[in-house]
Amino acid sequence: VDDFIYPLFIEEGENIETEIVSMPGIKRFSLDKISKELDEIVSLNIPAVLLFGIPSKKDDEGTETWNDNGIMQQAIRFIKKNYPSLYVITDVCFCEYTSHGHCGIIHDNDVDNDATLVNIAKQVISHAKAGVDMVAPSGMMDGTIDMIRQSLDNTGFSNLPIMAYSVKYASAFYGPFRDAADSAPSLGDRKTYQMDPANRIEALKEAALDVAEGADILMVKPALSYLDIIRELKDIHDLPLAAYNVSGEYAMLKAAAQNGWIDGDKVMMEKLISMKRAGADIILTYHAK
Ligand code: PBG
């Protein structure tokens, strides 16, 4: 259990406790309804949570991401105050916050990498001021880790670590998450910034860049179809390695188990163990509870 990170979807508003249909057992909560969930997480000794914010208003740039009173910042403060033993990690991205659902600023029908970096800096500094324990940038913009490391160092947060979504494939396994987080792109896809599933060499390159830029933990995502990449990175780099057991992987298992077609618990243990065997030190999973 020490190796688990549990993702949490936190929605701005009140009285919200909405089941995510394609992810049985996973809900979106507003902060006034989340204490029971946090009590349970703490009582199960799950050490860490990964927060996703779902704001009540979106715009072109996702400006709510750096609002010091935004839903993510409120959530960080709430959890650190009431559950100080819980390690709080934030997913640093824009797709839940932009009206178009892309992970950055759109210029000429494509995401503008370098303009987005400037906003990433504002976002992480705001999370840092709210008291986050670690940031996890997931937008796959080039130069993200370097930008975050410098921004945090320059604002007095030189001890705040970064978990890099280093190797994040453009995967159909994220389908249920996009419903959960309201983050499906309204035009096009994420193939200009997320990776081609057929490409192995680029995974090595992306991870090496993140190491050089100052990442503290590397991540591979999704997990199950990419166990070879996990093993390969584990053999090369001496940083802790995380595997993200994503929403579609969870949904497939739950659906088959609910139909009685597989033994859900046994298959769950087998797949989580396969991630450890491949070399994952940390597993981000909706199964953690
Ligand atoms: C982006 C983000 C995504 C996930 C984590 N962070 C979605 C995406 O890239 O489309 C997917 C997680 C999952 O499927 O469980 N903020």
Q: Which atom of ligand 1 is nearest to the CA of 52?
A: 16
pTM value? 0.96
Q: What are 90-116's pLDDT values in tens digits?
A: 999 999 999 998 899 999 888 999 999
Mean of the pLDDT values across residues 173-199?
Answer: 88
Strand-pairing partners, residue 100, are none
Position 158 scores a pLDDT of 98
Query: What is the percentage of the chain residues whose pLDDT exceeds 70?
Result: 100
Output the CA–CA distances (angstroms, integers) from residue 279 to 81, 195, 218, 260, 284, in the order listed: 34, 21, 12, 31, 14
pLDDT for res 47:
98
Instruction: Evaluate: CB of 5 within 6 angstroms of ligand 1.
Output: no
Task: Encode pLDDT of 147-180 as tens digits.
Answer: 999 999 999 999 999 999 999 999 999 999 988 8
Residues 94, 118 contacting (CB under 8 angstroms): no
**Taking 90 as the threshold, does the pLDDT of residue 11 lie above it?**
yes
**Looking at the predicted structure, is the pLDDT value of residue 184 above 90?**
no
Predicted confidence at residue 246, as pLDDT, reads: 98
Ligand 1 pocket member 247 (CB < 6 A): yes
Q: Is the model's pLDDT at 66 over the cut of 90?
A: yes
- Indicate whether residue 227 lines ligand 1 (CB < 6 A): no
Which of 27, 33, 57, 168 is labelled catalytic? 168
For ligand 1, pick from 64, 90, 183, 286 the residue to mutate: most ligand atoms within 8 Å of CB. 183
Question: Given this model, what pLDDT does residue 233 score?
Answer: 97
Which residues have CB under 8 Å from 240's CB, separation 6+? Answer: 216, 217, 218, 281, 282
Please tell me the predicted confidence (pLDDT) of residue 131. 98
CA distance 58 to 71: 12
Q: Is the CB of 72 under 6 A from ligand 1?
A: no
Question: Whose CA is closest to 133, among 49, 17, 228?
Answer: 49
Task: Indicate whether 192 pLDDT > 90.
Answer: no
Question: At 66, is the secondary structure helix, strand, or coil?
Answer: helix
pLDDT greater than 90 at residue 181: no
Comparison of pLDDT for 140 and 265, the residue scoring more:
265
